[in-house]
A and B are shown apart, each in its own frame.
Chain A
């Protein structure tokens, strides 16, 4: 028998800062998800040409000077915006916080590609003369850049990590933040994920070569997980960082609590570079539920990772059936159908989009399903229209990535 966790071992989310292709605050974003509003737009990137992407329009200058925007990276600016918004949302009296006891844990799918591509493009115009290669290249491309820029902006002197976890990174940042709180490495963790990936042509070209880049005449209908006619991923930028605290600290200051991280797990497929493994995905969900001391039947909403690729969607549906039985009691949705695949930010953005369900009891749908793929049929799949529920108390959020990295988090209403 496991004894109940003490209030110092309970981890809660107390603030949300985000930018998504369809909203720059949780309220805007949630409204778009309930209204069925996509954030995917036409996009053009060098070498690849016209394509589609989820593009964010947050105000970079809200928290940065123009000089700092120029000096840093897009991932850094997204992280700075999200971290500042999360702190403001949390109600933490920031002026009185010991900055050495704040830790930053930012998940990324990749980092450095944007700046390296930019520099190679630049020196091409100079006959590949490397003497015009920017001295800013190294500080922009070091792997800790996105998290490090947040510390510079906010004067945080505690630990900072950029967590490389492919497309499981948004969950991974949250999980690592929680673990560091449990280890007493910090008192406030700022964790989640960011993505600047639409600025690198390589990711578009790579998915296109793989036959996995979405094409559609109507950008808002391009990202269509579970639909029979889906044809790939819409690449997006975005970010979502949470302030994470021990329950005892949050309760002491009377904080608004979005939810408690009662379970989490990360594991590996050890089977393929790109193809997902439903057995290991299911295993990851089981492990997260076990830590939460819950069963599949106890989960009200499963937020799927599905990216609208033929293999990925079917495999995840198989894993979800394995864990939740498909009796319809657990609702299933997908947020990429609205915002595309926000890569390192996907896990945290998709979780954030579901958190307001604890208050409003509504499960947002997966949109753009005109003809459900029979292999993606799941009892409880909420298609095209939001669904009112008697109440939502638990959410399980999946986030998976290349090289077979799986993550699942379980959030409980407090």
Chain B
């Protein structure tokens, strides 16, 4: 996946996790939690969905990298570069 495709995938996961949110104006440089109603259990859903959909394992120590869209995409890029976008 390219970085753009990874972004699209994360956005798709966020749409499931936060179905009441309008994600069209999401600012990639600002943390998710500053822009959305997202608690720790929702946050774990991002990790879970990456695991279920793409078999990507995010260790707990790396959760810090999933703060914003840009940091998430940067972190996932090496882990997902060999995954084909379906």
Contact = CB atoms under 8 A, between A and B. Distances in A.
Interface of A: 65-67, 70-71, 126, 131-132, 134-136, 139
B18 to A, nearest CB: 6
B41 A65 contact: no
B44 interface: yes
Contact of B51 (A70, A132, A136, A139): A132
Contacts of B37: 67
B23 to A, nearest CB: 13
B19 A134 contact: no
A127 to B, nearest CB: 11
Contacts of A126: 52
Given A66-B19, A132-B51, 15 more contacts: A65-B20, A67-B17, A67-B37, A67-B42, A70-B17, A71-B41, A71-B42, A131-B51, A132-B48, A132-B52, A135-B41, A135-B44, A135-B45, A135-B48, A139-B41
Contact of B41 (A131, A132, A136): A136
A71 B42 CA distance: 9
Interface in B33-76: 37, 41-42, 44-45, 48, 51-52
A67 B48 contact: no
A139 B18 CA distance: 18
A71 B38 CA distance: 12
B52 to A, nearest CB: 5
Contacts of A131: 51
A70 B20 CA distance: 11
Q: Nearest 8 CB-CB pairs, A to B?
A: A66-B19, A65-B20, A135-B44, A132-B52, A66-B20, A67-B20, A67-B19, A132-B51
